[in-house]
Structure 1
Amino acid sequence: MNKSKLFLFLLFWVHFDQAIALQSSQPQVNVYSFRKYKLIQPVIHAFEQETGISVNLVNGKSQQLLSRLRTDGINSQADVLLTSDLIQLHDYKDLLRPLDEIGSWHIINPAFKDDDKRWVSVSMRTRAIFRRKASNTPLPQVYSDLNKPQFKGKFCIRQWSHSYNLALASILYTSSYSGDYMWLEQANTLLAKRPVGGDRDQLRALALGQCELAFANHYYWLMMHHSDNKRDKILAEQLEIHHIKMHSGKTPVSTTTAAISRHAPNAKAAMQFVEFLLKPSTQSMYAELLHEYPVLGSAQYNRVPFHPAIEQIKQGLKQVKRAQAVIKSISENHL
C-alpha cells in the first residue's frame, strides 16, 4: 500500500470512529459489509424504517475488515459482519459470538447455520455458465465435461483466487466422483483471455465476443438486466444462463452469511439486525430486489431452478485448504 492510499485508509477509519462516537446516544448497529452498499441498500433502509435503529455501514474487502476486527480486539466497534461468501469467515470463528437469541434459529435448515451458532446464511447463489443466445457453442452439462478438449480456450472468468471461485472449488472437492474436480488442475486451459475484472466484466466480455462461455454468479446477470445502465441491459439481453451440475445431479451453491462480532458494542441491536435478515419479508426482498435465492422455505419468490447441493455448503469448509493449494498453483500460471 503506497503512502497516499495508507493515509486515506487511516483517515477513513478515524472518521468512522468519530461518527460512532457522535451517535453513541442513538440506537444504532455498526455493520462491516464485504458486499457493496448498492447490493444491500434496500435491506438496510427497510431495517432502519422498521426499527428506528440507525445502521453505520463500513464497506471493504473481507481481509481488510477482518484484519481490522482482529487487531481492534475488545475495542472493536463492529457489531455485524455481512459476508459476500461464507468461506470468508473460515478462519475467523474465534472473532464471533453465538447467535443465541435468534428466534427463528430452529426453523433454519441445518445446512445454512453453524453448528456452534457462530454464523447463519441469509441468501443463496450459484456460479452459473453463460453463453450468447445466438451461439452454437456446446455447453458443459456436468463439471467433468470441463476436461473435454472442446472447452479449451472458451471461457471468461474472474481471477481464480477470488472467494467465489475458491468456494466453488471447495464444494467440488467434497464430491466422491473425481471428475467433478479433476479439471481444476488444468483450469487455465479453459481460458480465452487473462482473468481480469469482476463477474460483470466477464459477462460484458462474453457479449462482446471475447470468449464463447463465461462463469459468473447468477445474480450479476439479473442485476445487469435490471440496471439503469442501458449498455449493460443490452449486453445482458444477449446472454442466456445455464446451471452446471455435479455428477450427483446437484448444483453447487454458496451463501451470503451474517455473524456478530465477539465484542459487539451494540449486541442487542446486532441480534435484531440478523433476525431481520431472516424474516420472510426480508427473504423475499433478497429474491425480488437482490436476485438471490432465499434460505427460508416460507419465502417462495424466485423458486430455485435447479437442485442445490446444500449439504455440501458446510462440507466445503473442510476442503478449503485443498482448494487453496490448487487455486494458488493455477493463479501463478495465468495466461
Structure 2
Amino acid sequence: MFQRLLLALAILTVGSVQAQTREVTIYSVYPGEQLAPIFAPFTQRTGIQVNFVTGTSQELTKRLADEGANTTADLHLDKDLVFHGIAQRMGLYRPFNSRVVESQVPSHLMEKDKFWTTVFYRARVIMYNTNVVKPSELSTYEALGDAKWKGRLCVRTSKNSYNEALGAFFVKHFGAQKTAEILQSWVNNFSVNPLNGDRDVIQAVADGKCDVGIANTYYLPAFIRANAQFPVRPFFPNQKTTGAHVNGVGIAIVKHAKNVKEATMLLEYFTSREVQAPVAAAFSQYPVNPTAEMIDILKDFGRFAEDRTNVGEISHHVPAAVSLFPVVNYK
C-alpha cells in the first residue's frame, strides 16, 4: 500500500516548477521517512523544503512549550483531537487563515476558531463477530451495556487517546453522570480485562473471546486484506441519534511559527483532493476533503451518519471524561 502511495504522489511532481528555496518545519508524531514522500511534490512545486522533528505527543507539546518563541517549529502534526486539544489549551497554536482550507474541509472537522484542522479521520465503531452477531442486534454505544451483552464485550484500555476522545463524545452528548453510567455498564459486561490495542480487540472478537468490541475503522482493512473471510465487520452506532464518533489526524500552525505563509501553503496542499486520496488510502482512513476518493474497503463498510459536533468542542470535554474512568474502575 505504501509503495502505491509513492507512485501516486510521484505523478503530482510532473510539470512542477522549482522556486526559490524556503523551508517549513513540522513537529510530528509520525516518522519523517514516512512523511517525506507525501511532501516531496509540495517541495518540487514550491521550492519549500519540509523538515521534520519527531517525538511522542507528550514530548512534542512539552518541547513546543519549553522552546516558546525560540522554536523552529511551524506546524504540529498529531494523531487526534485529544492531543491537539491539550496543545491548544496550552496556548501553543495560532489560527490559520485560508479560504482554500476552509473550502476543502467540512467545518465540524476544523476547530471552530481555526486553531487546527483534521486532515484524515476514522470512526470509532462497534466491531462484531459475523458468525454470532446480527447487525439487527446492534444499535448504540450505550446499548452495549445491556444485559444481553454481559460477558461478550471487549474494549481497549482507557489509558489511550482514542477512548479518551470517545469518553469526551459521551460527556458532550449525555453529560458526566450518564457517561459514568454508560462506562460502568460496559465494565459490567467485559468478557476479558481491557486489552492493549484496537488490533487486539478486533482479533479477540474474531477468536470468540468476545462477540463485540470497540475499535477504529482503519484497523480492520488489514485483517480483511489478509483474509477476505475474516469474521469481523464494523457497525456504525447511534445512527438515529448523535451519529458515530469520529476522530483523526490533525495539524496546526504553531504560535511562534517563523514561516506562516509557507505553513499555510502546506495546509492547502495537504487538504487538496489530489493529496487526500492517495494518503488516506495508504493509511485506510477517510479523507476530510469530501471530493477525494476513498478506498474500496471503506466504501464496502457503507455510508454512515457521523457526529457533526465540532472536533474542538469534543476536545474540551476530554479532561472530564478521563476523570470518570477510575470512578467506574475502567482501567
Shift in Å, 1:150: 1.7
Residue aligning to 2:5: none
Q: Contact between 1:161 and 1:328, CA under 8 Å: does it hold in 2?
A: no
Residue aligning to 1:148: 146
In 1, the alpha carbon distance for the partners of 2:155 and 2:33 equals: 23
Shift in Å, 1:157: 2.1
Summarize the alignment of residues 1-335 of structure 1 with structure 2, pairs less than 5 Å apart.
27-35=22-30, 43-48=38-43, 50-93=45-88, 94-101=91-98, 103-106=100-103, 108-136=105-133, 139-175=137-173, 182-226=181-225, 233-234=226-227, 237-245=230-238, 248=241, 250-301=243-294, 305-311=303-309, 313-330=311-328, 334=331
SS of residue paired to 2:100: coil
| Equivalent position amino acid for 1:258 in 2 | I
Q: Contact between 1:34 and 1:82, CA under 8 Å: does it hold in 2?
A: yes
Root mean square deviation of aligned Cα: 3.0
The answer for unaligned runs of 5 or more in structure 2 is: 1-19
SS of residue paired to 2:245: coil
In 2, the alpha carbon distance for the partners of 1:250 and 1:57 equals: 36
Q: Contact between 1:141 and 1:244, CA under 8 Å: does it hold in 2?
A: yes
The answer for unaligned runs of 5 or more in structure 1 is: 1-24, 227-232
Deviations 1:17-40 (A, max 9, x none): xxxxxxxx9643322223466875
Shift in Å, 1:246: 6.0
Query: What TM-score, normalized by structure 1, do the two folds share?
Result: 0.78
Name whichever of 187-196 and 125-134 sits farther off: 187-196
In 1, the alpha carbon distance for the partners of 2:223 and 2:45 equals: 29
Q: Contact between 2:25 and 2:50, CA under 8 Å: does it hold in 1?
A: yes
| Equivalent position amino acid for 1:316 in 2 | I
In 2, the alpha carbon distance for the partners of 1:26 and 1:60 equals: 26
In 1, the alpha carbon distance for the partners of 2:24 and 2:58 equals: 21
Q: How many residues matched?
A: 303
Deviations 1:174-206 (A, max 9, x none): 225986773113432232222232212222233
In 1, the alpha carbon distance for the partners of 2:33 and 2:229 equals: 19
In 1, the alpha carbon distance for the partners of 2:33 and 2:145 equals: 37
1:77/1:269 Cα in 2 relative to 1: closer, same or farther (>3 Å)?
A: same
Deviations 1:291-331 (A, max 9, x none): 2222233225356610111225343234223212112434x
- Give the % identical residues: 26
| Equivalent position amino acid for 1:146 in 2 | L
In 2, the alpha carbon distance for the partners of 1:137 and 1:37 equals: 43
Q: Contact between 2:133 and 2:211, CA under 8 Å: does it hold in 1?
A: no
1:149/1:47 Cα in 2 relative to 1: closer, same or farther (>3 Å)?
A: farther
In 2, the alpha carbon distance for the partners of 1:129 and 1:188 equals: 16
In 1, the alpha carbon distance for the partners of 2:22 and 2:224 equals: 37
In 2, the alpha carbon distance for the partners of 1:296 and 1:90 equals: 22
Q: Contact between 1:169 and 1:181, CA under 8 Å: does it hold in 2?
A: no
SS of residue paired to 2:143: helix
1:184/1:76 Cα in 2 relative to 1: closer, same or farther (>3 Å)?
A: same
Name whichever of 321-330 and 136-145 sits farther off: 136-145
